[in-house]
C-alpha cells in the first residue's frame, strides 16, 4: 500500500505552517541534586501560533515557561538556525 499524498516538513516550511517554540524544562541528574532548567527549541507544524502553543503544552505539560514566535519561521531562518543544506 502506498500513500496518496505525502506532505513533508519542507512543504510545511514553504507554506508557512512551522512555528518556532522555545520552552524551559526542569531536570535533575540525581534525585538528591538541586533541579536545573534546560531551554528547548522545537519546530511545531501548526496553522497558527495558538495551536503551536497548545501542542507544546500537551506534549510537555511540566514546562516552566513557553515562548511562541508569532510569525511562522521562514526557510531562510530555518536554514540559518539548523539545516544549511536548504539554501
Does residue 53 contact residue 62 with C-beta atoms inside 8 Å?
no
Return per-residue pLDDT of the chain as tens, 87 residues: 676 777 788 899 999 999 999 999 998 888 888 889 999 999 999 999 999 999 999 999 999 999 999 999 998 898 888 765 555
Give the Cα separation of 24 and 19 in Å (integer).
Answer: 17
Phi and psi angles of residue 5, each rounded to the nearest 5 degrees, phi first: -145, 130
Does residue 59 contact residue 43 with C-beta atoms inside 8 Å?
no
Amino acid at each position: 500500500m502506498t500513500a496518496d499524498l505525502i506532505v513533508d516538513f519542507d512543504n510545511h516550511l514553504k507554506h508557512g505552517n512551522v512555528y518556532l517554540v522555545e520552552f524551559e524544562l526542569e531536570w535533575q541528574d540525581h534525585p538528591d541534586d538541586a533541579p536545573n532548567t534546560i531551554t528547548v527549541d522545537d519546530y511545531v507544524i501548526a496553522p497558527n501560533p495558538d495551536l503551536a502553543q497548545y501542542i507544546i503544552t500537551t506534549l510537555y505539560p511540566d514546562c516552566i515557561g513557553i515562548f511562541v514566535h508569532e510569525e511562522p519561521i521562514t526557510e531562510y531562518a530555518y536554514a540559518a538556525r539548523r539545516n544549511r543544506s536548504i539554501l
